[in-house]
Structure 1
Amino acid sequence: METYEPSTLADARAEQATDGRWTLVFIRDFPHPPARVWRALTKPADLTEWAPYTADRDLDTLGPATLTMIDGDEHVDIAVEVTQADPEHTLAYSWGTDLLRWDLAPTASGTRLTLRHTVADASWVPQVAAGWHICLDVADRLLEGNPIAPIRGNKARAHGWDSLRDAYATKLDIPTDEAN
């Protein structure tokens, strides 16, 4: 595999919801048009190249789907419900007990992606940020036509996940338990 070095930290913040859950707001600019970024977020053939999961169907329509989390040889199916699919603008779905919302906005040089990933506990936010950071770096390489293999699960630890988790914990002012 070609050498991977994490990009600089993304624009990110943590917000507490009224129900006590926490949302990571993760913003990343891509020098690619919204149509291409949308395809990477919704098409199984693209998702398998960068995401921590594969999808059993296109995610560009409402309704149930199955995302299969991949960690080495371990595969875990998670039922999801696509609740919003506005092509090239917004994709939202449940992911187990988590909620994900991907918003795309055209920019002069490509697309601004804003991911809102809601989790049960604040301690998960830096971990989620580190994971999405690596996945979106891999997605960017795919979009630019210079793909590298997906970096998923425990494999991410060998590619800077721990350092990213700690850096996001500091940036977001959320203590982290290094045993995770």
Structure 2
Amino acid sequence: MTQATLVPAGDRWTLVFIRELRKPPEQVWPALIDPERLDRWAPFTADRDLGTPGAVTLTMVDGDDRTPMACTVLAAEPPHLLEHTWGDDLLRWELEASGTGTRLTLRHTSAEKGIEAMVAAGWHLCADTLERLLAGEPVVAIRGEAAREHGWEDLRNRYAKMFTG
């Protein structure tokens, strides 16, 4: 189950994206911080483990294009909270035990206007891939233009309708 809402944040906006996962927080946490696991589901790669505060480079991947971004892990409280910058954006990952699984809440705060539905669609595909990774399936991250082959445009349109009421 996925829920997504937009919350005003001053001159910025925050996407609150919630996904129920079937694994407990202790099994989800490594997928959020380990560079090898991130590379299999996230829109970026990491040059180090995100489990400790400090500088990190997150590299956006789109086919052969790579865009490194200097970022900072602001908080890492295993297995419940990870907060880091991503360029000018702020990502806050909250893991809460929910039955035998995890309620994953991503709060993605961005200053760029007009991309809210695109961001939600991207995280939706990433969360689908994360769920399959946690289930032990062989997966490859769905990034950039490749997302169009996996229903990204339909998701973007659906989120756009949801966000505009």
Residue 17 (str. 1) matches residue 9 (str. 2): yes
Matches within 5 A, 1:9-48: 10-18=2-10, 20-48=11-39
Partner of 2:60: 69
Partner of 1:81: 72
Partner of 1:142: 133
Partner of 1:90: 81
Query: Counterpart of 1:89 in structure 2: which amino acid?
Result: H
1:169 to 155, 160, 164: 160
* TM-score normalised by length of structure 1: 0.89
Report the Cα distance in structure 1 between the residues aligned to 2:105 and 2:140, rounded to whole angstroms. 24
SS at match of 1:123: coil
Report the Cα distance in structure 2 between the residues aligned to 1:171 and 1:38, rounded to whole angstroms. 29
Report the Cα distance in structure 2 between the residues aligned to 1:59 and 1:158, rounded to whole angstroms. 29
Matches within 5 A, 1:151-166: 151-166=142-157
Kept in 2, the 8 Å contact 1:138–1:147? The answer is no
Displaced runs of 4+ in structure 1, greater than 6 A? none
State the identity as a percent: 52
Question: How far off is 1:41 after superposition?
Answer: 0.4
Question: How far off is 1:172 after superposition?
Answer: 1.5
**Per-residue CA shift, 1:8-41, capped at 9, x if unaligned?**
7x211000112x1000000000000101111000
Question: How far off is 1:121 after superposition?
Answer: 3.3
Question: How far off is 1:147 after superposition?
Answer: 2.5
**Per-residue CA shift, 1:51-109, capped at 9, x if unaligned?**
11111000010000001111000111011100011111110011111110000000112
* TM-score normalised by length of structure 2: 0.97
Query: Structure 2, unaligned stretches of length 5 or more?
Result: none
**Per-residue CA shift, 1:147-175, capped at 9, x if unaligned?**
3221100100111111101101111117x
More strand by share: 2
Cα RMSD after superposing both structures: 1.1
Query: Counterpart of 1:105 in structure 2: which amino acid?
Result: E
